[in-house]
Amino acid sequence: MAKWGHGDPRWIVEERADGTNVNNWHWTERDATNWSKGKLRELLVGVMVENEVGSCEISDLKQVEGEASCSSRKGKLIFFYEWNIKLSWKGIIKESGAKHRGSVEIPHLSEENEVDDTEINVSKKKGDGDSLKELMKTAGVAKVREALENYLKALKTEFTTGMILPTKIAPTRELTAKRKLSEHTFQVRAVGVRIPTVTIHMREMFDTAVEQLYSIFTTKDLVQKFSKSSAVIKAEKGGKFQINCFVWEHYATVALIFVPVVGQTELQLNCKGVPVCKEESTRQCWEKQHFEEIKRFTVTFGNPEQLD
Tens of pLDDT along 174-198?
455 444 434 433 333 334 445 677 8
Q: Identify which of 174, 202, 213 has the alpha carbon closest to the alpha carbon of residue 301.
A: 213
User: pLDDT tens digit string along 63-114?
Assistant: 999 999 887 766 678 888 999 999 999 999 999 999 999 999 999 999 888 8
Q: Is residue 183 part of a domain?
A: no
The CATH number covering residue 104 comes to: 3.15.10.20
For the chain, what percent of residues have pLDDT higher than 90? 32
Q: Is residue 204 part of a domain?
A: yes
Structural domain of residue 230, as residue ranges? 197-300
* For range 268-275, the mean pLDDT: 86
Q: What angle do CA 163, 167, 169 make, to 5 degrees?
A: 170
Q: Is residue 41 part of a domain?
A: yes
Q: φ, ψ for residue 124 (rounded to 5)?
A: -135, 145
Q: Is residue 115 part of a domain?
A: yes
Is there a single domain that holds both residue 41 and residue 148?
A: yes
Q: Is residue 206 part of a domain?
A: yes
Work out how many domains the chain is built from and give that number: 2
pLDDT at 176: 53
Q: Is residue 184 part of a domain?
A: no
Is there a single domain that holds both residue 132 and residue 220?
A: no
Q: How confident is the model at residue 129 (pLDDT cuts 50, 70, 90)?
A: confident
The CATH number covering residue 293 comes to: 3.30.530.20
Q: Is residue 208 part of a domain?
A: yes
Residue 171 predicted with pLDDT over 50: no
User: pLDDT tens digit string along 9-49?
Assistant: 444 444 344 444 444 444 567 888 999 999 999 999 999 99
Element (H, E) at 180: helix 173-182
